[in-house]
C-alpha cells in the first residue's frame, strides 16, 4: 500500500513539474507564433503596423466622428442636450455592441446600438406637460472602408515584435513563480492580449507622426418606434374643445439611412460629407413644432377663433381635426464640413447643410408640403491644456422656408452651437 501511494505521489509530482515546464514552453511558443505572424503580415501586406494596432487606431478615430443623423450624432455611448428658442432636444445611446471587439485577428467594422432621442417645446427646462416627440430604436453602423496613408519609402521597424515578446516574457516571470506556489496554470490568453497591447504601444510611438492622410467610409441604419404627442383645439368646434383640448398621439415606425465619408490630411485640411434619407409618420403639424408659430400663421389677431383662445400663452394647436391625417413622409439632408489650417496650431471650419422635410399640406388630406432648412456656420475649434481640440464653437446663420405651403413664413436668424471636433483625428 505504501509503495502504491509513493508511486502515485511521484507520478503527481512529475505531472506537476511537467505542467510547470509546459506553461513556460506554451507561452514561449505562443509568443513566437504571434511575433512571426505580425512580421509575415508586415512583409506580405505592405502595411506599416500590425492588424491589431490598425484596428485600435480606427476605433479611436471613428469614435470621434458624427454619423449624419441629427438625432443620433455619435457612434458610441453618448448623451447630448440642445436648447434653442423653439425646442429642447435630447439624445442618448446607453447600450452598444462592437462585433468582434475582442478579436485582434478581425477588423473593426460593425456597431449595434440602442438609441433614444426626443424633443420638447421650450416652455421651461424639460417641461413634459407640453408637446413632446420621442424615438426609441436600434441602429447598425457599418464601417465599409478605413485606410491610412504613409510615406512609401518608410521602412517598417521589424524589431518591434521581438521587443514586445521579450517584454511580455519579462512580465510573466514573476507570475510563473507565483503560479508554482498556487499550483495553477498561467493564463496564456491574458499574455496574448498583453503582447498585442505592447506591439500597439511601440508602433504608435514609432509611427505616430508618419501618417499623411486618413479615409473612412461608413453607413448608419436606424429603425425604431416614434411618437409625437400634442394637444389640439378643434377649429370646427372651438367653444367645446378650448376648455378641454384634445390629446393626440401620432405613432408609428421610423427608418433612416445615412452615408458618410471623411478624408483628412496631416496638414489639417479635412472634409466630411453626409447624406441621409429617412421616413416617419407625419401630419400637417409635423414640421411646425412651436404651437405659437403655427397658431400665428393659421389664426392671426382679429379672427373668431382668438376670442376663445390666447395664442401667446397656451401650448395647444388650433386646427381642423377632420383634415388632420397621418401618412408616412420622407426627409432628406446633406451636410458638408471642411477644415483648413489657420496658423501653425489652429484650424477653422465651414459647416454647410440643407434639409428638405415633407409633411401633409395644412387644410388637405393628401397633398404634400416641404420645409427647407439651409444653414451655414463657421467652426472655431478650442484646444485643451494638452493642445488637443476639445470642442467646436460655431456661429451660424439659418434660413427656413416652405414649398407648396403658401401660409408658411420664411425666416432667418443667427445662432451659436457646439459640436464634436472632426479635426481631432490626427
CB atoms within 10 A of CB 12: 10
pLDDT digits (tens, 9 = 90+) for 274-329: 899 999 999 998 888 777 777 777 766 555 555 556 555 567 888 888 888 999 99
pLDDT given at position 10? 43
Match 429603425 to its residue by C-alpha cell.
223
pLDDT digits (tens, 9 = 90+) for 157-215: 888 888 888 888 887 766 655 555 445 566 777 888 888 888 888 888 888 777 788 88
Match 397633398 to its residue by C-alpha cell.
367
Lowest mean pLDDT among 173-177, 192-196, 267-271, 336-340: 173-177
- Mean pLDDT comparison of 51-55, 240-244, 288-292, highest-scoring range: 51-55
Rg of the chain over CA atoms, in angstroms?
30
Confidence category of residue 84, pLDDT binned at 50, 70, 90: low
pLDDT given at position 176? 58
Query: Which residues have a Cβ under 8 Å from the Cβ of 2 and sit 6 or more positions away?
Result: none
Cell reading at 227: 411618437
Contact 314, 291 (CB under 8 A): yes
At 331, phi and psi to the nearest 5? -125, 145
Q: Looking at the predicted structure, is the pLDDT value of residue 114 above 80?
A: yes
Lowest mean pLDDT among 88-102, 116-130, 158-172: 116-130
CA distance 143 to 347: 27
The CA-based dihedral angle spanning residues 262, 381, 85, 328, taken in that order and rounded to the nearest 10 degrees: 10
Q: Are strands 317-319 and 213-234 parallel, antiparallel or unpaired?
A: parallel
Q: Looking at the predicted structure, is the pLDDT value of residue 9 above 50?
A: no
Q: Are strands 327-342 and 389-403 parallel, antiparallel or unpaired?
A: unpaired
DSSP label of 39:
H
Q: What is the mean pLDDT of residues 355-384?
A: 88
Give me the percent of the chain exceeding a pLDDT of 70: 72
Distance of CA 72 to the CA centre of its chain: 6
Lowest mean pLDDT among 24-38, 62-76, 296-310: 62-76
**Residue that wins the pLDDT comparison between 24 and 327:** 327
DSSP label of 153:
T
User: How far is the CA of 206 from the CAs of 48, 151, 159, 290, in angstroms?
Assistant: 10, 14, 11, 55
Contact 95, 107 (CB under 8 A): no
pTM: 0.75
SS3 (DSSP) at 243? coil
Cell reading at 390: 476639445
Amino acid at each position: 500500500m505504501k509503495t502504491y501511494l509513493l508511486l502515485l505521489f511521484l507520478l503527481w509530482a512529475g505531472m506537476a513539474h511537467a505542467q510547470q515546464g509546459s506553461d513556460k514552453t506554451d507561452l514561449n511558443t505562443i509568443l513566437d507564433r504571434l511575433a512571426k505572424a505580425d512580421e509575415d503580415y508586415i512583409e506580405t501586406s505592405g502595411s506599416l503596423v500590425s492588424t491589431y494596432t490598425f484596428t485600435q487606431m480606427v476605433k479611436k478615430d471613428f469614435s470621434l466622428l458624427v454619423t449624419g443623423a441629427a438625432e443620433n450624432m455619435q457612434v458610441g455611448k453618448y448623451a447630448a442636450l440642445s436648447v434653442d428658442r423653439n425646442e429642447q432636444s435630447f439624445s442618448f445611446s446607453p447600450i452598444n455592441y462592437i462585433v468582434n471587439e475582442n478579436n485582434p485577428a478581425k477588423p473593426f467594422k460593425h456597431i449595434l446600438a440602442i438609441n433614444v432621442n426626443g424633443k420638447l417645446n421650450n416652455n421651461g427646462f424639460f417641461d413634459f406637460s407640453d408637446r413632446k416627440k420621442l424615438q426609441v430604436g436600434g441602429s447598425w453602423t457599418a464601417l465599409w472602408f478605413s485606410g491610412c496613408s504613409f510615406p512609401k519609402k518608410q521602412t517598417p521597424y521589424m524589431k518591434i515584435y521581438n521587443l514586445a515578446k521579450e517584454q511580455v516574457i519579462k512580465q510573466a516571470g514573476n507570475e510563473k513563480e507565483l503560479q508554482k506556489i498556487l499550483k495553477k496554470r498561467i493564463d496564456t490568453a491574458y499574455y496574448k492580449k498583453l503582447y498585442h497591447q505592447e506591439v500597439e504601444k511601440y508602433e504608435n510611438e514609432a509611427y505616430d507622426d508618419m501618417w499623411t492622410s486618413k479615409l473612412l467610409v461608413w453607413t448608419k441604419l436606424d429603425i425604431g418606434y416614434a411618437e409625437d404627442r400634442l394637444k389640439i383645439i378643434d377649429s370646427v368646434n372651438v367653444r367645446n374643445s378650448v376648455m378641454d383640448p384634445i390629446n393626440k398621439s401620432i405613432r408609428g415606425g421610423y427608418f433612416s439611412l445615412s452615408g458618410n465619408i471623411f478624408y483628412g490630411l496631416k496638414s489639417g485640411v479635412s472634409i466630411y460629407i453626409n447624406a441621409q434619407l429617412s421616413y416617419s409618420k407625419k401630419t400637417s403639424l409635423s414640421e411646425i413644432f412651436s404651437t405659437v408659430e403655427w397658431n400665428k400663421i393659421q389664426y392671426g389677431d382679429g379672427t373668431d377663433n382668438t376670442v376663445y383662445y390666447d395664442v401667446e400663452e397656451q401650448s395647444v394647436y388650433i386646427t381642423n381635426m377632420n383634415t388632420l391625417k397621418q401618412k408616412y413622409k420622407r426627409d432628406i439632408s446633406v451636410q458638408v464640413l471642411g477644415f483648413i489650417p489657420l496658423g501653425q496650431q489652429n484650424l477653422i471650419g465651414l459647416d454647410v447643410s440643407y434639409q428638405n422635410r415633407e409633411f401633409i399640406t395644412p387644410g388637405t388630406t393628401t397633398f404634400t408640403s416641404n420645409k427647407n432648412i439651409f444653414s451655414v456656420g463657421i467652426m472655431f475649434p478650442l484646444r485643451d491644456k494638452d493642445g488637443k481640440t476639445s470642442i467646436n464653437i460655431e456661429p451660424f446663420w439659418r434660413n427656413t422656408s416652405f414649398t407648396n405651403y403658401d401660409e408658411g413664413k420664411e425666416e432667418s436668424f443667427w445662432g451659436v452651437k457646439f459640436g464634436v471636433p472632426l479635426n481631432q483625428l490626427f
